[in-house]
Amino acid sequence: MDTASIVTALEAERDRLNSAIAALQGLGSGLRRPANGIRRTLSASARKRISDAQKKRWAERKKGARP
């Protein structure tokens, strides 16, 4: 293998790694705000309904896990 082909292969690998790093850095930014900047919030009653539903699912799962 000549030097030019080695350099070309290394540059291609570098570009692939840079793309992977950029993609992973984009994932680490956490929650993103919507484009219009408006964030939706849940009312207290909605949070309670969601909480109660999840507790019900956990109870069903726990009940099913017992021998």
Please tell me the total number of residues recorded for the chain in this structure.
67
pLDDT mean over 51-56: 96
pLDDT(8) > 70: yes
Give the 3-state secondary structure of residue 43: coil
Q: How far is CA 62 from CA 3, 7, 52, 54, 58, in A?
A: 63, 58, 15, 12, 6
CA distance 62 to 67: 11
The domain locations on the chain are 1-29
Whether residue 67 is predicted with pLDDT greater than 70 in this model: the reply is: no
Q: Report pLDDT digits (tens) over 9-41.
A: 999 999 999 998 888 877 665 566 667 777 788
What percent of the chain has pLDDT above 70?
85
Give the model's confidence band at 47: pLDDT under 50 very low, under 70 low, under 90 confident, else very high: very high
- The answer to whether 50 and 42 have CB atoms below 8 angstroms apart is yes
